[in-house]
Structure 1
Amino acid sequence: MNKTGLFYATGTEKTAAIANKIKNAFGEDTIDIVPVERAWKKDFEKYDYLIVGTSTWFDGELPSYWDEMLPELKELDLRGKKVAIFGLGDQVNYPDNFVDGIGLLAEIFKGVGAELAGFTSTAGYYFNSSKAVKNGRFLGLAIDTEIQPEKTEERIRNWVEELKEQGFGK
């Protein structure tokens, strides 16, 4: 049985709300919640599939809970594992670094051998620049609860269906 772990900071209200919506879209017992504030190297390595969530702080930075983990994350061996990333951002007030956190985490996880999954279209978003965009697509699921809250449910539902097709949540 393949296992999926959902990693996010449980103390961040908006990211936690989106993570819970993702978990519910998969079904209650199909993925494990792992608070990133208490995660260790072994927690990341024990899952075949990882979903990781972050917001983007300030001018395109990772929040402190991820930033503090960088030394440990860079020591992971995730070869043969898939990682899907979701991120929150504000495309109007931060158009020059919208959901940069997705791109920053993607670089780290790819650097330790993980295969990235769950790319999404940039259509319907309005921003200038993002480290989360490669080859015209987001490297994960971009959520803007400030400007486009009405699109959140559908974006999550579509993303989760795509991830299920790739083996997540089984």
Structure 2
Amino acid sequence: MDKIGLFYGSDTGTTEEIVEKIKDAFSKEISLHNIAESSKEDMEKYDKLILASSTWGDGDLQADWEDFENNLENIDFSNRTVALVGLGDQEGYDDSFCNALGHLYNHVKDAKIIGKTSTDGYEFEESTAVVDGEFIGLVLDEDNQNDLTDKRIETWIKQIEPLF
């Protein structure tokens, strides 16, 4: 299957809005899946995946992703290409900024991970989303830098689309 499966969790609708923007900006076909309504089998249908979650509390996955997390442990990601998207608040949670991305990464790191981005332009203390000095995916802060979101999405898609 050539389609890309984009799985997301959204409590307030912000992540859902972001994945809609990503889907609209891609030239390749993307199938959106709310993780709250998805099964392990739904995810396994795709060799190409984008996983998106906001960070809640002190660095937790979005609640629907937490409910789905056990399924991630039982999926073989080794022959899949995965891009990650994280949303967070770097001012209010500067010690756990976008840590949900780190949680997702730990489950899918056997995959071919694409879409790493620079930490330049962000102000935070700690983040498990940073590996080897880079974010392991697209990181967005809709609370403090929403004016940068569209450009960040556009730049990221130019980077990853040829790799899908």
Residues 58-93 of structure 1 deviation map (CA, whole Å, 9 limit, x = unaligned): 110112101111111101112210111101100011
Q: Distance in 2 between matches of 1:31 and 1:63?
A: 22
Question: What secondary structure does 2:32 align onto?
Answer: strand
Q: Are 2:154 and 1:160 aligned?
A: no
Give every structure 1 segment of 4 or more consecutive aligned residues whose post-TM-superposition deviation is greater than 2 Å: 9-12
Question: What secondary structure does 1:50 align onto?
Answer: strand
Q: Tell me the CA shift for residue 11 of structure 1.
A: 5.2
Q: Which residue of 1 aligns with 2:125?
A: 128
Q: Which residue of 1 aligns with 2:23?
A: 23
Q: Which residue of 1 aligns with 2:6?
A: 6
Question: What secondary structure does 2:29 align onto?
Answer: coil
The size of the alignment, in residue pairs, is: 164
Q: Distance in 1 between matches of 2:17 and 2:69?
A: 24
Q: Distance in 2 between matches of 1:12 and 1:75?
A: 28
Q: Which residue of 2 aligns with 1:139?
A: 136
Q: Distance in 2 between matches of 1:23 and 1:12?
A: 19
Residues 79-130 of structure 1 deviation map (CA, whole Å, 9 limit, x = unaligned): 21011110110001100010001111000112xx322111000000000000
Q: Distance in 2 between matches of 1:132 and 1:10?
A: 19
Q: Which residue of 1 aligns with 2:145?
A: 148
Q: Distance in 2 between matches of 1:126 and 1:159?
A: 20
Q: Distance in 1 between matches of 2:32 and 2:99?
A: 23
Unaligned runs of 5+ in 1: none
RCO comparison, higher one (Cα < 8 Å, 6+): 1
Q: Distance in 2 between matches of 1:80 and 1:162?
A: 20
Change (3 A) 1:11 1:57: closer
TM-score for both structures, normalised by structure 2: 0.95
Q: Tell me the CA shift for residue 57 of structure 1.
A: 0.3
Report the AA paired with residue 135 of structure 1: D
TM-score for both structures, normalised by structure 1: 0.92
Q: Distance in 1 between matches of 2:140 and 2:69?
A: 23
Give the conservation status (yes or no) of the 8 Å contact 2:11–2:62: no
Question: What secondary structure does 2:104 align onto?
Answer: helix
Q: Tell me the CA shift for residue 10 of structure 1.
A: 5.2
